[in-house]
Amino acid sequence: MSDSKDYYKTLELDTTATADQIKSNYRKLMKKYHPDVNPSPEAAELSRKINEAYEVLSDPAKKQEYDNPTPMMDFGGGGPFDPFSSMFFNRSNPFDPFSQFLNGQQEQHRRNSDLNITVNVNTANLFKGIPDADITYNVKLACSDCDGTGYASKDTCPQCQGSGKVVQRQSNGMFTSQTITGCGICKAKGYIVRDTCKKCNGFAFSEEKREIKIENIASNLFQTLRFPGKGNSDASLTTAPGDLYVIVNPIVEEGAINPMDLSVHISHNIDALNFIAENKIKLPGLNNEWHEIQLMCGNTEYVVKEGGIPRGTDRSNMVLTINPVLYPVQNKELKEQILKNLNEVK
């Protein structure tokens, strides 16, 4: 067994250690290596290993499986010609890929999760000179009484004996196929709750409001900002919290922003007759501005230099797309004039 997977060595114990010694060494080592108190680069990896070791050695069912990794003969069936038997030969070894896959849910549960939030930035605020944003968000915190498990006491699942897995065998002529699925009785957890935690009523975590300031948000539009350790502590308060990812999403009313150059794109419907006459028209932009556009027949896209959003000391461009719309002409004389003009063009 390699050192990295020697759980007793990780917890500085020998294999005869009692449950109390396991717990006491775990606490002692976590106090020393928890990334919150130990800034050394190895601390995070070490505390992860310590947690992994504790998780197995503190759980009687997992410890039993770890201490006695014998092939499970009771899966039976696997005669010398059974093509599937080799897949399951190491089934009881806690490190074979299958068991890791099946234990994924449990191991996942002990890792605090990252938190993703999207912050919509109304770009109108950038004209008002609001460069920083105060964001309020909720983090999940594991219950301090039950350490995020939701229970006060538990029993080993009678169906799967704590493994969280059940094996189904199917005979098909000379072959026997076996499928391992999550145990339905305990939902693959390996245990059944006897008493729910009184503090959290089995919810396992609570939510708490947090605040974070994003400085100079105008220079972070469309970015995903990472704040290490500002995410959830939903799995356990004793392990490092997850990270917070903030997606800064700029919005303009009735328009869209191009993430590449931050140009603002707005489209307007206008009377097609303006095109025929090649009129000058005025259209609304951002920040109560109006832009005068000299229409040219056949051109429906007009770029207004620096008509977009503030970007450092300058502004991005605005692209106005103009949709010519034919409105019914009610005025009889105007209608005749237009038809005459069109005939002349022909």
Closer by beta carbon to Zn ion, 93 or else 106: 106
Question: CB of 235: closest distance to Zn ion in angstroms?
Answer: 13
Cα-to-chain-centroid distance, residue 90: 33
Instruction: Take residue 115 and report the two structure tokens written for it.
Output: 């938190």
Q: Provide the minimum distance between the beta carbon of 108 and Zn ion in the complex, in angstroms, as a whole number.
A: 17
Q: Which is nearer to Zn ion, 93 or 156 (CB)?
A: 156
CA-to-CA distance for 124 and 250, rounded, in angstroms? Answer: 10
| Cβ nearer to Zn ion, comparing 124 with 166 | 166
Work out how close the CB of 201 gets to Zn ion at its nearest, in angstroms, rounded to a whole number: 8
Tell me the closest approach of the beta carbon of residue 197 to Zn ion, in angstroms: 3
User: Residue 270 CA to chain centroid, in angstroms?
Assistant: 43
Which residue lies nearer to Zn ion by CB, 159 or 267? 159
Least Å from the CB of residue 187 to Zn ion: 8
Assign 145 to helix, strand or coil: coil
Query: How would you classify the pairing of strands 264-271 and 256-257?
Result: antiparallel
Give the span between the Cα atoms of 223 and 245, in whole angstroms: 10
Q: Quick one: the chain helix, strand, coil %, rounded to 5?
A: 25, 30, 45
Site for Zn ion, rule CB under 5 A: 143, 145-146, 157, 159-160, 183, 185-186, 197, 199-200
Query: Which residue, 25 or 233, is less far from Zn ion as judged by CB?
Result: 233
Are residues 308 and 317 in contact, defined by beta-carbon separation less than 8 angstroms?
A: yes
CB of 162 to Zn ion, least distance (A): 7
User: What is the rounded CA–CA span in Å between residue 279 and residue 283?
Assistant: 13
CB 199, min distance to Zn ion, A: 5
The smaller minimum CB distance to Zn ion, of residues 10 and 149, is found at 149
Nearer to Zn ion, 164 or 250 (CB): 164
Helices (H), the chain: 7-10, 19-33, 41-57, 60-67, 85-88, 97-109, 124-127, 273-276, 332-345
Pairing of the two strands 115-122 and 244-251: parallel
CA 299 to chain centre: 44
**CA–CA distances in Å: residue 266 to residues 77, 274, 296, 303, 320:** 69, 19, 18, 11, 5
Looking at the Cβ atoms of 24 and 206, the one nearer to Zn ion is 206
Distance of closest approach, residue 61 Cβ to Zn ion, in angstroms: 10
